[in-house]
């Protein structure tokens, strides 16, 4: 029987360095399990958020490794659906949300797969320029009913 989510939101602030990724993955694992996701979905959530973090590091901050990235993980409920809501806030380069898109998958070449992975795994993905600079990425994934 799936439990109801009850934990407080988790807030993390890490540097834009690849070495921070395991810490974020662990936090996502804990939050996703607490929200009642099955292990396959937990892995998918970790992957999607890892890809979003990698994009912030590579594109938002263009490889600068000492910049702040704020992450919030919180359980959410909409109608009968229970899920995990994730916000990733950076202070790097601002881009138009419409320009953030995965490339066609039949164009097989290295790179450019992160956005496709994020959009495939998450049920809702919203990029927006953040007030004061940088980007805010809001994502939600719901548990299977």
Binding site for other proteins (CB under 8 A): 18-19, 21-22, 25, 40, 43-44, 47, 50-51, 54, 57-58, 105, 108-111, 113-114, 116-117, 120-121
- Three-class secondary structure of residue 87 per DSSP: strand
**Shortest distance (Å) from residue 102 CB to other proteins:** 9
Given the complex with other proteins, which of 5 and 114 has the nearer CB atom?
114
Given the complex with other proteins, which of 3 and 106 has the nearer CB atom?
106
**Shortest distance (Å) from residue 79 CB to other proteins:** 27
**Shortest distance (Å) from residue 108 CB to other proteins:** 6
Given the complex with other proteins, which of 31 and 57 has the nearer CB atom?
57
DSSP single-letter state for residue 68: E
Given the complex with other proteins, which of 4 and 107 has the nearer CB atom?
107
**Shortest distance (Å) from residue 126 CB to other proteins:** 20
Instruction: Please name the helix (run of DSSP H) or strand (run of DSSP E) that holds residue 5, with its range, or none.
Output: none
Query: Which long-range contacts does 41-48 make (Cβ < 8 Å, 24+ apart)?
Result: 41/141, 41/143, 41/144, 44/121, 44/141, 45/84, 45/86, 45/121, 45/141, 47/117, 47/121, 48/117, 48/118, 48/121, 48/122, 48/139, 48/141
């Amino acid at each position: 029987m799936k439990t109801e989510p009850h934990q407080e939101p988790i807030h993390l602030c890490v540097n834009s360095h690849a070495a921070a990724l395991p810490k974020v993955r662990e936090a996502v694992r804990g939050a996703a399990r607490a929200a009642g996701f099955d292990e396959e979905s937990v892995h998918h959530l970790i992957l999607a958020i890892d890809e979003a973090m990698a994009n912030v590091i590579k594109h938002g901050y263009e490889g600068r490794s000492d910049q702040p990235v704020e992450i919030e993980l919180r359980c959410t409920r909409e109608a009968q659906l229970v899920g995990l809501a994730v916000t990733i806030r950076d202070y790097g380069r601002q881009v138009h949300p419409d320009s953030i898109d995965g490339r066609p998958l039949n164009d097989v070449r290295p790179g450019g797969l992160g956005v496709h992975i994020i959009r495939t795994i998450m049920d809702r993905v919203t990029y927006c320029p953040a007030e004061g600079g940088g980007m805010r990425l809001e994502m939600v994934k719901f548990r299977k009913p």
